[in-house]
Amino acid sequence: MSNEYGQRCPAAKSLEILGERWTLLIVRDLLPGARKFQELEASLGAPPGILSQRLKLLEENGVITRRLYSQHPPRAEYALTDRGQDVRTVIRALSIWGAKHLHTERVFVHEACDHPIEIAYRCAQCDQNLALEEIAFRTEKPPIKTPLVKR
């Protein structure tokens, strides 16, 4: 079901998990809190088989957790993990892009001045917004592995 792109790029690796249409919509619907399968099915209009597959993929990749609230018949509710909560930024970025370029009914605005907001890059260390030319993409060095010593 997931697309294996065979690339080391973070975007391609993310798309292997999040790149299917229904997947991001499931995450969007889970952002306010846990939801039951039936609630997700009704709000999304997704076919049950596809919804089940996407939920399983998200669970296998640590994006959501599943908790049974009924044993007979088995019924589950789903909630985002911390990893899943981090997808909020992706959902917001898509929403902001869509509002700007696709003229949708909704838009994210700054409450103080009621103007649309934009996505910004921010350094996690010094908490400063960055211009695009201040950002570099580099390959992380793999951790140094200590060789095993035979005794």
Which pLDDT tens digit goes with each residue over 58-101? 999 999 999 998 888 888 999 999 999 999 999 999 988 898 88
Averaged pLDDT of the chain: 87
The C-alpha atoms of residue 133 and residue 116 are separated, in whole angstroms, by 24
Q: Percent of the chain having pLDDT more than 90? A: 54
pLDDT of residue 2: 45
Model-level pTM?
0.78
Does residue 148 lie within any of the structural domains? no
Residues 75 and 21 in one domain: yes
Residue 5: is its pLDDT beyond 80? no
pLDDT tens digits, 128-149: 999 889 988 877 766 655 555 4
Residues 99 and 89: their CA atoms lie apart, in Å, by 15
Whether residues 53 and 102 share a domain: the answer is no
Q: Domain count for the chain, please give it.
A: 2
Query: Do residue 67 and residue 43 come from a single domain?
Result: yes
What Cα–Cα distance (Å) separates residue 126 from each residue in 74, 122, 129? 48, 8, 9
Domain that holds residue 122: 88-134
Q: Does some domain include residue 113?
A: yes
> One-letter amino acid identity for 82?
D
* Cβ atoms of residues 29 and 43 within 8 Å: yes
